[in-house]
Amino acid sequence: MFNLMKTAVLMAAITALFMAVGQALGGQQGMVLALLVAVGMNFFSYWFSDKMVLKMVNAREVDETTAPGFYRMVKELAQKADLPMPRVYIIDEEAPNAFATGRNPQHAAVAATTGIMRVLSERELRGVMAHELAHVKHRDILISTISATMAGAISMLANFAMLFGSRDSEGRPTNPIATIAVMILAPLAASLIQMAISRAREFEADRGGAEISGDPRALASALDKINRYARGIPLEAVERHPETAQMMIINPLSGGGIRGLFSTHPATEDRIERLLTLAVQMRA
């Protein structure tokens, strides 16, 4: 219920942002048009954002015939988590990563890169997929998926502002400084919304994944490996669509310094430390 409330707040925030941008670019008429666009985007995001995100990263669906070992692993973990069987996808990318998407546990999907299957042991991969199923169980996936598609839409709106400039309700040019501010602040606002949503949920998904798999040390080891590999191998699909980075188990776009302030994930070292503490508590 709480995550549904957060989703509603996110949609309201994005709608308000769209209206503010629309007013800056086109006065009253621009605001009304932006409201209509935002309502349409909210509807589309709720029902179809998972399909859009999977398409953004070129994910291909697999089954027990095309990827028997991986599919059976997800099926077993879903049963342990008391979840419906999600759709299973593979992304042909060397960078190791994984994510979950969908609007609810009945319409969920999990995806992993070929790189993560190559660099992780079976035990570590189980920990990662358990983490993703914890996101499904906690109903994080709707707000995560919607924020990805909405952030992309806001970035497009800012690009539109750059191309066409701003006009008032009578078609006269408005202050160009306001337009520049909109182009800068709109994508930043979308990123800040994602940040507010994403950080705490990763700790909870780590805990939930450790409980589903019964092996917090395996997940800790997997996070360490993914973090080290992610620094040297770009995830091309996410580079093309950076709004999807916040959905991954390790944000492939995270960095140190100022860039680190805008990371949607907690520090990997903190996540590992918590998992090792949990392992002691679970005697695992």
The helix (H) or strand (E) run that includes residue 202 is helix 176-213
* Nearest to 210, CA basis, from 277, 264, 270, 115: 277
Sequential DSSP letters for 205-263: HHHHHHHHHT-HHHHHHHHHHHHHHHTTS--HHHHH-GGGGGGSSS-TT--SHHHHHT-
Give bridge partners of residue 62 from the DSSP assignment: 88
Exposed e or buried b per residue across 179-190, where buried means at least 16 C-beta atoms within 10 angstroms of its C-beta: beebbebbbebb
**Owner of token pair 């942002």:** 17
Exposed e or buried b per residue across 130-161, where buried means at least 16 C-beta atoms within 10 angstroms of its C-beta: bbbbbbbbbbbbbbbbbbbbbbbbbbebbeeb
61-68 long-range contacts (CB < 8 A, ≥24 apart) are 61/87, 61/88, 61/89, 62/88, 62/89, 62/90, 63/88
Give bridge partners of residue 99 from the DSSP assignment: 111
Q: Which of 132, 202, 211, 243 is catalytic?
A: 132
The helix (H) or strand (E) run that includes residue 39 is helix 2-56
**263 in Cβ contact with 246 (< 8 Å):** no
State yes or no: is 132 an active-site residue: yes
Would you say the C-alpha torsion 234, 235, 241, 245 has a positive or negative sign? negative
Dmax (CA) of the chain: 70
Catalytic machinery residues: 132
